[in-house]
């Protein structure tokens, strides 16, 4: 652009595409035509915008993933956030929805391969945020199950509550998240050989996270996907003989995982 | 002066925002505000923070809205953008207006989205005819969709566009003339931009189309230097309002009478009493006899 002949009467035009490209490429030149009061191109002035974009989006990411930030430390997180923001800038101006790809980005980030649980910690934090902003709805009153003909209990299907999420992990994701975010003073060292899965709900204003017992994750996911109680219990039993239908169902109901139930006629 | 004659019957603008000081609402302050029943003119929220479906943000805003007048301030519509407005985002803004019936509704003279990227910053626009036409079309679309008059905020800028063919003041005045929108006069932005572009803030304010102003913003800025060592002020909203900005504010109020005035403090947010004290400082200026030529809000 700079080498082209230009009449002094037609100053260089800066469009949004070139402005935007330069924002995400710190090595690129300041677009010609953006000036200080002396009419000269002003790299340091343009860098205010570059800095605002990267820093504000990195901070938004840090607010959504505080446990990941604590695990990595501020400096590492800052560098990582810059890489993520540049590779996956938000599409929407609603930043409470920014960071959906962060967990997969962490899992695939080569320098972090020796911390394989990080992606799952991010998945848990993302699910927590979705639950926080989900639509408000009353949880299913467990007493409603008592109204069902016992012969037909197995045919019951549940409507997932708008805030419900399940995060499954091969790692002690809840112990790690508690130690680095939710209850930092109350958690000891994590046993990395212990897989953990959690149920996340928000029946009122507080987001709750529950550690699921053995067999509970698959069962809960099946119910959330609309399988009947009998189907979900049968599958869970096949997976794990110690599976307890009454315990796992009580957990789901007490946590507020469902907003309603259906019985096919 | 903040009345709204363009509203559709379907949309009521709620409690009129009085010509008093207000504060930007922060989640961490809500409990304090409600507990103490803070005596403050209004609260302003960033619309984008309330675009989730439910949860604590809406619960808090409902509690605030039931006790105080509200101003709804969008930060992400990209009115100065080259591409058409994001229809879904505009609809979300419209829905929030309907849900909370704010007394004031504002957005920025800036762009923040292009192609599929949202940059999360208020980026500058060139002041030329093509941009003017686009901005006016966008404001027409906003006012038609939302069904009410909006206020447009003057920007803080760090660079100028060589391609600009008119002044910021002419640009803003022409927008007001063509669209009938009002203006949100950010006096910190005036001080920041005028310092950065070596112009007189007093001259700028003396020529500002005050009849269109429905609200004033005050906030803190961070001092820096540009490539040539000239002062470069950054619109950081991370500290108290600067003395120079208070002085400009006093002049504006003295000359024009009281207007709803917001204290913006979005980064390094202090405890609630500190923010409230800033609002009270603005209230004292609003109550000065020199500015007592009150125009009654209708």
pLDDT for res B291: 44
Residue A250 DSSP class: H
- A23 and A96 together in one domain: yes
B292 has a pLDDT exceeding 50: no
Domain count, chain B: 1
B88 occurs within a structural domain: yes
Alpha helices in B29-160 (DSSP H): 30-36, 56-65, 87-100, 129-146
For tokens 């698959």, the residue is A218
> Are A53 and B197 within 8 A, CB to CB?
no
B1 occurs within a structural domain: no
pLDDT for res B12: 55
B151 occurs within a structural domain: yes
- A32 and A148 together in one domain: no
- A237 and A155 together in one domain: yes
Q: What is the pLDDT of residues B215-264, one digit of tens each?
A: 999 999 999 999 999 999 999 999 999 999 999 999 999 999 999 999 99
A3 has a pLDDT exceeding 90: no
Section B45-72 average pLDDT: 98
- A140 and A247 together in one domain: yes
- A250 and A179 together in one domain: yes
CATH of the domain at B262: 3.20.20.150
Q: Which pTM was predicted?
A: 0.93
A265 has a pLDDT exceeding 70: yes
pLDDT for res B290: 58
- A173 and A206 together in one domain: yes
- A177 and A254 together in one domain: yes
Interface of A with B in 88-127 (CB under 8 A): 89-96
Region class of B166: left (phi > 0), else alpha (psi between -120 and 50), else beta:
beta
Query: Which of A15, A48, A92 is closest, CB to CB, to B118?
Result: A92
B29 occurs within a structural domain: yes
pLDDT for res A168: 97
- A147 and A259 together in one domain: yes
pLDDT for res B186: 98
Cβ pair B142, B77 in contact under 8 A: yes
pLDDT confidence bin for B1, thresholds 50/70/90: very low
CA atoms within 13 Å, Cβ hemisphere of B6 = 15
Q: How far off is chain B from A113, nearest CA to CA, in Å? A: 29
Cβ pair A131, A165 in contact under 8 A: yes
Query: Which of A16, A45, A135 is closest, CB to CB, to B114?
Result: A16
CA A133/CA A201 separation, integer angstroms: 11
Cβ pair A28, A22 in contact under 8 A: yes
Domain boundary residue among A62, A80, A115?
Answer: A115
**Mean pLDDT score of chain B, rounded to an integer?**
93
Section B97-120 average pLDDT: 98
> Are B55 and A205 within 8 A, CB to CB?
yes
Residue-range definition of the domain harbouring residue A37: 14-115
- A200 and A161 together in one domain: yes
Q: For residue B120, what is the enclosing H or E element?
A: strand B117-123
B13 has a pLDDT exceeding 70: no
Section B201-227 average pLDDT: 97
Section B191-219 average pLDDT: 98
Section A19-29 average pLDDT: 94
- A88 and A59 together in one domain: yes
Query: Which of A33, A132, A202 is closest, CB to CB, to B162?
Result: A33
B294 has a pLDDT exceeding 80: no
Residue-range definition of the domain harbouring residue B39: 21-291
Q: What is the pLDDT of residues B139-195, one digit of tens each?
A: 999 999 999 999 999 999 999 999 999 999 999 999 999 999 999 999 999 999 999
Percentage above 90 pLDDT, chain B: 91
Domain count, chain A: 2
- Look at chain A and count its residues: 265
Assess B259–A contact: CB distance below 8 Å, yes or no: no
B3 has a pLDDT exceeding 50: no
> Are B52 and A96 within 8 A, CB to CB?
yes
A39 occurs within a structural domain: yes
Question: Strands (DSSP E) along chain A, which ranges?
Answer: 34-35, 156-160, 165-168, 197-201, 208-211, 258-263
Q: What is the pLDDT of residues A175-218, one digit of tens each?
A: 999 999 999 988 778 899 999 999 999 999 999 999 998 789 99
- Count residue pairs from A and B with Cβ separation < 8 A: 149
pLDDT for res B289: 75
B232 occurs within a structural domain: yes
pLDDT for res B11: 53
B297 occurs within a structural domain: no
Q: What is the pLDDT of residues A138-184, one digit of tens each?
A: 999 999 999 999 999 999 999 999 999 999 999 999 999 999 999 99
pLDDT for res A8: 59
- A93 and A185 together in one domain: no
B71 in helix, strand or coil? Answer: strand
The CA angle B181-B184-B185, to the nearest 5 degrees, is 130
pLDDT for res B68: 97
Section A110-137 average pLDDT: 97
Q: What is the pLDDT of residues A64-88, one digit of tens each?
A: 999 999 999 999 999 999 999 999 9
Sheet holding A165-168: strands in order across? A165-168, A197-201, A208-211
Q: How far off is chain B from A220, nearest CA to CA, in Å? A: 23
Among A36, A62, A161, most B C-beta atoms within 10 A, so best to mutate, is A36
* Residue A135 φ then ψ, to 5°: -60, 145
pLDDT for res A189: 85
A5 occurs within a structural domain: no
Q: Tell me whether strands A156-160 and A165-168 are parallel, antiparallel or unpaired.
A: unpaired
- A107 and A24 together in one domain: yes
B2 has a pLDDT exceeding 90: no
Which residues does chain A have within 8 Å of residue B126's beta carbon, measured at their own beta carbons?
A: 13-14
> Are B118 and A90 within 8 A, CB to CB?
yes
Assess A52–B contact: CB distance below 8 Å, yes or no: yes
């Amino acid at each position: 652009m700079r080498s082209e002949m230009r009449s002094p009467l037609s100053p260089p035009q800066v469009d949004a595409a070139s402005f935007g490209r330069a924002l995400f490429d710190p090595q690129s030149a300041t677009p010609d035509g953006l000036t200080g009061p002396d009419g000269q191109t002003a790299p340091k002035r343009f860098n205010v915008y570059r800095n605002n974009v990267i820093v504000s989006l990195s901070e938004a990411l840090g607010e959504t993933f505080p446990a990941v930030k604590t695990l990595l430390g501020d400096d590492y997180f800052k560098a990582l956030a810059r890489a993520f923001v540049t590779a996956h800038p938000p599409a929407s101006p609603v930043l409470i929805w920014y960071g959906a790809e962060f967990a997969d980005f962490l899992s695939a980030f080569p320098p972090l391969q020796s911390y394989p649980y990080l992606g799952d910690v991010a998945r848990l934090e993302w699910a927590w945020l979705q639950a926080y902003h989900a639509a408000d709805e009353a949880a299913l009153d467990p007493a409603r199950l008592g109204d069902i003909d016992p012969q037909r209990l197995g045919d019951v299907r549940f409507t997932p509550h708008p805030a419900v999420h399940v995060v499954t992990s091969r790692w002690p994701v809840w112990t790690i998240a508690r130690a680095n975010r939710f209850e930092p003073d109350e958690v000891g060292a994590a046993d990395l050989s212990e897989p953990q899965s959690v149920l996340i709900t928000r029946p009122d204003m507080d987001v709750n996270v529950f550690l699921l017992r053995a067999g509970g994750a698959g069962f809960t996911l099946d119910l959330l996907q609309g399988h009947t109680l009998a189907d979900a219990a049968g599958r869970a039993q096949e997976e794990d003989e110690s599976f307890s239908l009454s315990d796992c169902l009580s957990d789901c109901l007490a946590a507020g995982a469902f907003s309603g139930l259906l019985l096919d006629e | 002066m903040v009345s709204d004659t363009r509203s559709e019957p379907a949309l009521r603008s709620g409690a009129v925002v009085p010509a008093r000081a207000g504060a930007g609402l922060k989640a961490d302050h809500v409990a304090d505000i409600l507990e103490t029943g803070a005596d403050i003119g209004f609260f302003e929220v960033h619309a984008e923070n309330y675009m989730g479906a439910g949860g604590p943000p809406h619960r808090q805003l409902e509690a605030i809205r039931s006790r105080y007048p509200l101003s709804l301030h969008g930060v992400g519509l990209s009115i100065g953008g080259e591409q058409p407005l994001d229809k879904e985002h505009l609809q979300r803004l419209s829905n929030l207006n309907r849900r909370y019936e704010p007394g004031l509704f504002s957005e920025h003279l800036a762009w923040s989205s292009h192609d599929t990227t949202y940059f999360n910053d208020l980026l500058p626009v060139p002041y030329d005819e093509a941009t003017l036409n686009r901005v006016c079309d966008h404001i027409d679309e906003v006012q038609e969709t939302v069904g009410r008059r909006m206020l447009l905020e003057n920007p803080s800028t760090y660079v100028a566009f060589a391609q600009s063919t008119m002044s910021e003041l002419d640009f803003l005045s022409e927008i007001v003339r063509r669209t009938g929108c009002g203006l949100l006069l950010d006096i910190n932005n005036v001080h920041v931009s005028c310092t950065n572009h070596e112009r007189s803030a007093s001259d700028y304010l003396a020529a500002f189309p005050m009849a269109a102003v429905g609200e004033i913003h005050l906030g803190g800025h961070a001092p820096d230097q540009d490539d040539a060592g000239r002062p470069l002020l950054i619109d950081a909203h991370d500290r108290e309002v600067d003395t120079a900005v208070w002085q400009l504010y006093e002049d504006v109020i003295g000359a024009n009478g009281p207007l709803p005035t917001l204290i913006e403090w979005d980064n390094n947010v202090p405890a609630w009493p500190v923010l409230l004290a800033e609002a009270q400082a603005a209230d004292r200026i609003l109550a000065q006899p020199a500015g007592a030529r009150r125009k009654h809000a209708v």
